[in-house]
């Protein structure tokens, strides 16, 4: 008997989440076991408001174009349904005769999907729930890496290199630059900024991680050390980092915002650290904060990332049709010498609200840079080789 399928997107947008959506739709269109192919506008929050679209009615060219379109074409949300709303979601899925529920998102989306799957079982409704991994933070457990990460890693690696060239050229005016990247709890994004570095002169020179507490005095000393050696410094910090006492490194230790899942957001650590460097060392320090630009850049997207996001979407449909439920699609790195990736499955309930931190072997002993082990892990994920920028040898000419 044909089944209706519904798919939604949740959490922060990425450059490749639409490739996952394209994979879902393409696979569903080729399956005789699927009748209706629906999309939730703005995730489960939109479904509660009756915002559902017919994806079969979309033009073929539009669906193809999703594979190279950033952001979330269906719209996204950061919404945690309460028990009453969860019951209503299930009632709406019954009304639509949906049997396959696919939800692309991160840790919090896995929590919503796991709760919905459990409720459906308790109410005796056959619903196959599959989570599709999506997070630039690369912090979902059980999967080797996450769709979305490779593209941001590529963006940050190139951006750090280019910021370094700018700082090197302008070192007499503003010799210190601090780049603040996303990543509340795990340092995968900060670490990726090192992937284009080939020489000591190349940026970044210092990288810090949420997993390792940072004394402001130590940061200032590190900056001074690099400045003494090179005459300029580029440091990368995450959006949240704590000092040895556990307080956030920022102008204020009070959060500026707390979302529905209890995630707290704080003032910029980069702005605070730049102020400390300027005040203590007398060096003009600037800070850059790419913000959502880092997760949206399709022009710097990783081809590997795009292909794997699409693959994950197709795999999710196949898994649901074989009766799998309560699971998230994972990316599995094959042990071959040449990089190759396939898909697997992990329990949604164990993915939900858990965070995969950076392994200690990926961070140097001083906790201010990455190791070769991290570079080996992450380099295949960013796709094509990064650009190589020229640096003049600067053979001086005697004037006298």
- Strand-pairing partners, residue 328, are 131, 346
CA distances from 112 to 89, 251, 313 (A): 11, 34, 18
CA 381 – CA 366 distance, rounded (Å) = 26
The residues near 194 (Cβ < 8 Å, ≥ 6 apart) are 157, 160, 204, 207, 369, 370, 374, 375
CA 288 – CA 270 distance, rounded (Å) = 8
Please give the structure tokens belonging to residue 337. Answer: 């010498």
The answer to whether the CB of 162 falls within 8 A of the CB of 273 is no
Report helix angle 83-95 to 107-122, nearest 10. Answer: 70
CA distances from 206 to 137, 282, 358 (A): 20, 19, 16
Please give the structure tokens belonging to residue 16. Answer: 């490749």
- The active-site residue, picked from 137, 139, 288, 307, is 137
CA 311 – CA 150 distance, rounded (Å) = 15
- Tell me whether residue 217 is one of the annotated catalytic residues: no
Q: Catalytic residue numbers?
A: 137
């Amino acid at each position: 008997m044909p089944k209706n399928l519904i798919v939604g997107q949740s959490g922060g947008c990425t450059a490749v989440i639409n490739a996952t959506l394209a994979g879902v739709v393409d696979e569903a269109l080729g399956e005789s076991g699927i009748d209706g192919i629906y999309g939730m506008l703005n995730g489960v929050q939109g479904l509660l408001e009756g915002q559902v679209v017919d994806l079969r009615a979309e033009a073929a060219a539009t669906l193809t174009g999703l594979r190279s379109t950033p952001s979330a074409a269906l719209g996204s949300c950061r919404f945690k349904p309460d028990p009453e709303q969860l019951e209503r979601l299930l009632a709406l899925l019954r009304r639509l005769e949906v049997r396959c529920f696919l939800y692309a998102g991160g840790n919090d989306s896995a929590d919503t999907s796991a709760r919905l799957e459990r409720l459906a079982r308790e109410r005796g409704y056959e619903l196959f729930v599959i989570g599709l991994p999506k997070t630039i933070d690369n912090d979902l457990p059980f999967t080797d890496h996450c769709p979305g990460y490779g593209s941001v890693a590529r963006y940050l690696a190139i951006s750090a290199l280019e910021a370094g060239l700018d700082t090197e050229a302008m070192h007499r005016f503003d010799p210190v630059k601090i780049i603040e990247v996303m990543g509340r709890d795990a340092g995968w994004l900060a670490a990726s900024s090192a992937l284009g570095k080939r020489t000591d002169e190349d940026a970044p020179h210092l990288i810090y991680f949420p997993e390792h507490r940072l004394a402001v005095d130590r940061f200032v000393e590190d900056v001074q050390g690099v400045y003494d050696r090179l005459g300029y410094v580029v440091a990368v910090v995450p959006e949240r980092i704590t000092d040895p006492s556990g307080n956030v490194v920022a102008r204020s230790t009070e959060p500026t915002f707390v979302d529905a899942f209890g995630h707290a957001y704080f003032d910029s650590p980069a702005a605070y650290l730049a102020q400390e460097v300027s005040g203590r060392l007398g060096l003009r320090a600037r800070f850059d904060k790419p913000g959502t630009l880092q997760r949206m850049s399709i022009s710097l997207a990783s081809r590997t990332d795009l292909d794997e996001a699409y693959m994950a979407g197709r795999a999710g449909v196949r898994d649901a049709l074989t009766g799998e439920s309560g699971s998230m699609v994972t990316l599995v790195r094959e042990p071959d010498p040449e990089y190759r990736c396939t898909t697997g499955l992990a329990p949604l309930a164990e993915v939900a609200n858990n965070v995969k931190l950076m392994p200690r072997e990926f961070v140097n002993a001083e906790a201010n840079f990455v190791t070769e082990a991290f570079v080996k892990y992450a380099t295949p994920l960013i796709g094509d080789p990064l650009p190589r920028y020229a640096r003049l040898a600067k053979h001086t000419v005697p004037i006298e």
